[in-house]
Structure 1
């Protein structure tokens, strides 16, 4: 019969992995691996909002845990994986701790993400200047919409941003209204969650996959409705403003500069260890420019598939070298690559009938890119599986 200490440790590991943002089926595998490593027979069922533990050797004891939807905490995830590989000791180990960045760093990261996104996709210098203000407003919305109000942070953040953009545009500043709104809320776009949902579906975890997709679509709806309401309120108060068409006034060096800025900003927002953010830079480069140059005349779909394979292979390889999990290093590349923002762009273009980015059929391409990402991940894992998969 397993001791209560070991049972508590297994439950603690599973709960922490779930809280860090691991896909549910990976939570099951990692926790089962940890239990089997120490001779504990454990059956685990994880969903996006709950985990059930059953211990057959302990009179079929069942522990049921209800959790909030997970958030991404890469530092805590890395430290938990490190602790997972350590042997059990008679004296209980302190729970793994994450990385805590000061408030000014979080504020700076929020402020830098919108302009960095505009640098990558191209825009005007006026829009670049305004985007710093919008990033600061997004940070304020996160500060005020905390704890029980956090469920509405995406909606209120999008509403405040859209209202501010409508006001600035009414002053005659030449800016792309919808492009600025989307750049400001791109942090809220659940690109990684969508990718995790499709990955769960690909590995036959249908319950978790459909649940995650539902959460993702709810977030996208909150963002879209917030932008629409904010713009309409702003236009009702300040009058209708003209939005300029897509323009790219940035030199190539400024676009290149945007990549490390958004990479390190995302690292701060996701509480990643600084060294892990540095290791993730190659996947950020692949995620941004891979679909353009690795398509081999096959278009976006082929380029996305090849890029996803390379991102996943690199993340898995560096994770095996450092005895960590690949998601820590893959996440930035997938977020930059995953077309979550494309869905929002597509919906906005359908509602407002305005061209935001010079990409034809952007909504359809987003659907194909989702499929290519899932196919790329499966291909990469079949070529070079994670260490945890080989040890199970």
Structure 2
């Protein structure tokens, strides 16, 4: 993370809403920290970032984000250790990815010094919203949207970059049941699957609702061309443990280059666990479930960190996964969170201290 030398316009909140929050019983995304950052792109350049009290933004009904979906976002977390120190986890990766997503959606890339200056200022102002303790964090949501008024089908010439924050606890507290997609697809070759574009997620809601009607919490997405290859799970990257080996799909223009995914691979390799990054067929996983060699399936992502899968459905056949001793999923989740919460050494240099 580069040192920032950006001046910000700061308007502090006159009072805090933190007293209204029950931090022991949080609903994800219900409460937001006292401050947010907004920065507008006007006349070909990003203006001075503003730190403001969290609140509504006024926009034209014809703003292009509403009509043509020019919107990208990121998900990050800030953690507080037992001594009250605040840490970010691999924030440079999130910054690079939102600009990669922006470029694909014809949104101007955001300056690095603006991003990190605003981020650190927000965490300093709202440090009381970051709670220590396992599972607690402050979820950070940067996003960029097209704000030009006009319904002509063309890229906007005005944009707004925003960062908001909300307190969070563990996302999936118990294993989930999933179904393998056979009809709907998350993304296609040449599309925007690799980007955190808002439309990718909106398009998932309908098939996910159908899955939930059948008793499954998430979908394992397959490739759009043949539905033979497993790619992602819900909003997460996906890992399969076959015997003592981990297998996961390679990233491409359909699959998100997940920060947690990359971290799990690095941790596994350090533990001398074999990792194969290759295409994974539905047939292979069904056969592994039937012959007993499929030990685990788990998803990885910022919100959940690691989410265990208890079983999967394919073509109306449900395959329950075995309960294994010392599962990889929980091993890696603990190792990752020990680094995030400053409970263990960080041999990778992933952890970044924030002065608050």
Tell me if both proteins adopt one fold, taking TM over 0.5 as the criterion.
Answer: no
Give the structure with the larger helix fraction.
1
Give the structure with the larger strand fraction.
2
- TM-score, structure 1 normalization: 0.29
